[in-house]
Amino acid sequence: MTNKRWAFEDFIEGATIPLGEKHVEAAEIVEFAREFDMQPMHLDEEAGKNSILGGLSASGWHTVSMFMRLICDHFLLDSTSQGAPGVEYLKWKKPVLAGDTIRGEATVMAVRRSGSRPQLGFVTFRNSLYNQRNDLVLEFSNTGMFLLRNPELAA
């Protein structure tokens, strides 16, 4: 039996897991961009203002990374997670700008036991990230793999 709070059995179709908030600072946008996505709108306020994004904006990959941190902090690190086989879709809906406060949620869309590994289950999530104006800025869907709480009961 696991001592983790979240195991496969704890994910119920239709349930939404709130993931908290994060304030996005200009310095972290630039730091991420210098390392991973050196486009001007991610490195310089003026370049961002002159782009269609309207200001210094987080790279889409930085936005996904910040969402991943919210997932880790709010349930994944206290779960029986065994990773994920991939992402079904991902859409950046609006830019995340310096000074924004983002909040996330993960909605359980489907759960199913593995046919070949009875101690394992698959949980499909629809993930959403909103800014302080409640604008959807990111949405994606992925499936995670989680161990059962009591694998000895797996049939």
Domains of the chain: 8-153 (3.10.129.10)
Residue whose C-alpha is closest to residue 148's, from 116, 125, 124, 114: 114
The answer, yes or no, to whether residue 3 has pLDDT greater than 90, is no
Print burial letters for 84-110: b (CB count within 10 Å at least 16), e (below 16).
eeeeeeeebebbbbbebebbbbbebee
Q: Tens digits of per-residue pLDDT, 67-102?
A: 999 999 999 999 999 999 999 999 999 999 999 999
120 forms beta bridges with 147
- What amino acid occupies position 111? V
Q: Tens digits of per-residue pLDDT, 87-145?
A: 999 999 999 999 999 999 999 999 999 989 989 999 999 999 999 999 999 999 999 99
The answer, yes or no, to whether residue 7 has pLDDT greater than 70, is yes
- The answer to whether 69 and 123 have CB atoms below 8 angstroms apart is no
pLDDT, residue 150, reads 83
